[in-house]
Amino acid sequence: MLSASRTFLRSTAAPTLRAQRRHATSVAAFNGQKNAKGNYIVSMIEGDGIGIEISKAVKEIYAAAKVPIEWEDCDVTPSLINGRTTIPEPAVKSINKNLVALKGPLATPVGKGHQSMNLTLRRTFNLFANVRPCKSVVGYKTPYDDVNTILIRENTEGEYSGIEHTVVPGVVQSIKLITREASERVLKYAFEHARSINKDRVLVVHKASIMKKSDGLFVDTAKEVAKLYPDIKVEFELIDNTCLKMVTDPAPYEDVVMVMPNLYGDILSDLSSGLIGGLGLTPSANMGDHVSIFEAVHGSAPDIAGKGLANPTALLLSSVMMLRHMGLDSYGSKIEKAVFDTIASGTANRTRDLKGSASTSHFAQEVIKRLA
Ligand SMILES: NC(=O)c1ccc[n+]([C@@H]2O[C@H](COP(=O)([O-])OP(=O)(O)OC[C@H]3O[C@@H](n4cnc5c(N)ncnc54)[C@H](O)[C@@H]3O)[C@@H](O)[C@H]2O)c1
């Protein structure tokens, strides 16, 4: 059985990583079974906006690469049941059956309307850890050539608990919920993940100087969890300091696995994306004990939706993380190499966000040509 933690190694680890010390872990391992045709079934949520275009590109590339999976499309149009934003039952059944899903971005109305379906999915399937690797892309020049960070974001609570109310008109309270249980779970995942990718430092990013109780609990829990991993050093840094240091020189962050409460992870991962060329390049994995959902870090990009301009790389690299999670490493590596070779081949084959002129479908066809 494959460990999910271990599976991210090959997509994110620099070749210079120390030692061959590998520790398999059963945290968030994939337990899916192939069907009679020898394929895994994967739930597919195409998503909103550019989700339609980039999912189509993924499906075309997977068909060309003959990946042994079958897609099961899921409709996650939200419905309100007893005042709660709810995922349609067929989608819940599909994901619970297949144990793995690839997801396009889902738009969330601002300041009104239904709760975020992204949050609803994370809560419904208890996807407690959001893993966000961010690595410089060879062939696409940015101010830094050596970004190689891995950030793990607590995915179920914190500032995203959705507990808000109006105290009196003009005064609103939003509750940041931090529990020892959820903190412990994501921190353990971070330590396990560090072990599995041969890193011996975990950096806990927080703001316990101000949020002494909530972030204080996260920090205290980290100190407790660290005792279970004597081979891994735990370090602490304030979120504002991390932002400053990372944009000044990201190289030192290659050696650590960062872990942090929800909002900090959301912001810091976008910051990291900016360092390597933008949101079109950064994948992520939402890990749970039972189910895992893989998705790009970016949103539905309404400004370019339907125009054939979207870069499918982030969703493709998320799908590569998914394939490694499922033990389909060779297919993952083949697709990953074809994607990077296409980006490196020049501006004619790159999408506009990477200063190129290619459409989404042109990029997909170029990736297909490079599938060895
Ligand atoms: N996980 C998710 O599903 C997710 C994540 C973030 C935002 N959202 C939702 O998406 C909607 C739009 O959010 P936003 O505009 O703040 O962020 P966004 O990520 O959709 O877009 C930010 C900018 O990045 C560009 N961009 C993003 N992905 C790109 C890609 N693949 N190729 C080329 N350019 C790309 C967009 O054109 C835009 O200029 C909102 O409703 C938001 O709630 C969803």
Tell me the CA end-to-end span of the chain in Å, nearest whole number: 27
Question: What is the pLDDT, as a whole number, of residue 8?
Answer: 40
Torsion of CA 24, 26, 32, 34, to 10 degrees: 30
Question: What is the pLDDT, as a whole number, of residue 28?
Answer: 75
Q: For residues 3 and 209, what is the distance between their CA atoms, to the nearest angstrom?
A: 35
Question: What is the pLDDT, as a whole number, of residue 21?
Answer: 32
Nearest CA to ligand 1 atom 36: 301
> Tokens standing for 116?
């975020």
Ligand 1 within 6 A of 106 CB?
A: yes
The answer to whether 1-126+281-372 and 143-276 have equal CATH topology is yes
Ligand 1: which atom is nearest the Cα of residue 105? 3
Ligand 1 within 6 A of 310 CB?
A: yes
Question: How far, in Å, is the centroid of ligand 1 from the Cα of 291?
Answer: 24
| Domain ranges across the chain | 1-126+281-372, 143-276
Nearest CA to ligand 1 atom 7: 299
Question: How far, in Å, is the centroid of ligand 1 from the Cα of 251?
Answer: 27
Question: How far, in Å, is the centroid of ligand 1 from the Cα of 256?
Answer: 27
Question: How far, in Å, is the centroid of ligand 1 from the Cα of 105?
Answer: 7
Ligand 1 within 6 A of 107 CB?
A: yes
Question: What is the pLDDT, as a whole number, of residue 26?
Answer: 58
Question: How far, in Å, is the centroid of ligand 1 from the Cα of 88?
Answer: 24
Ligand 1 within 6 A of 301 CB?
A: yes
Ligand 1 within 6 A of 215 CB?
A: no
Ligand 1: which atom is nearest the Cα of residue 311? 32
Task: Reduce the secondary structure of the chain to three states and give it as a string.
Answer: CCCHHHHCHHHHCCCCCCCCCCCCCCCCCCCCCCCCCCCEEEEEECCCCCHHHHHHHHHHHHHHCCCCEEEEECCCCCEEECCEEECCHHHHHHHHHHCEEEECCCCCCCCCCCCCHHHHHHHHCCCCEEEEEEECCCCCCCCCCCCEEEEEEECCCEEEEEEEEEEECCEEEEEEECCHHHHHHHHHHHHHHHHHCCCCEEEEEECCCCCCCHHHHHHHHHHHHHCCCCCCEEEEEEHHHHHHHHHHCCHHHHHCEEEECHHHHHHHHHHHHHHHCCHHHCEEEEECCCCEEEEECCCCCCCCCCCCCCCCHHHHHHHHHHHHHCCCHHHHHHHHHHHHHHHHCCHHHCEHHHCCCECHHHHHHHHHHCCC
CATH topology of domain 143-276: Isopropylmalate Dehydrogenase (3.40.718)
Ligand 1: which of 116, 140, 298 to mutate, most ligand atoms within 8 Å of CB?
298
Question: How far, in Å, is the centroid of ligand 1 from the Cα of 297?
Answer: 8
Question: How far, in Å, is the centroid of ligand 1 from the Cα of 313?
Answer: 14
Tens of pLDDT along the chain (372 residues) come to 334 333 343 343 333 223 323 333 456 789 999 999 999 999 999 999 999 999 999 999 999 999 999 999 999 988 878 777 789 999 999 999 999 999 999 998 777 777 788 989 998 999 999 999 999 998 899 999 989 999 999 999 999 888 899 999 999 999 999 999 999 999 999 999 999 999 999 999 999 999 999 999 999 999 999 999 999 999 999 999 999 999 999 999 999 999 999 999 999 999 999 999 999 999 999 999 999 999 999 999 999 999 999 999 999 999 999 999 999 999 999 999 999 999 999 999 999 999 999 999 999 999 999 997
Ligand 1: which atom is nearest the Cα of residue 106? 3
Ligand 1 within 6 A of 298 CB?
A: yes
Ligand 1: which of 76, 300, 317 to mutate, most ligand atoms within 8 Å of CB?
300
Nearest CA to ligand 1 atom 1: 105
Question: How far, in Å, is the centroid of ligand 1 from the Cα of 120?
Answer: 18
CATH topology of domain 1-126+281-372: Isopropylmalate Dehydrogenase (3.40.718)
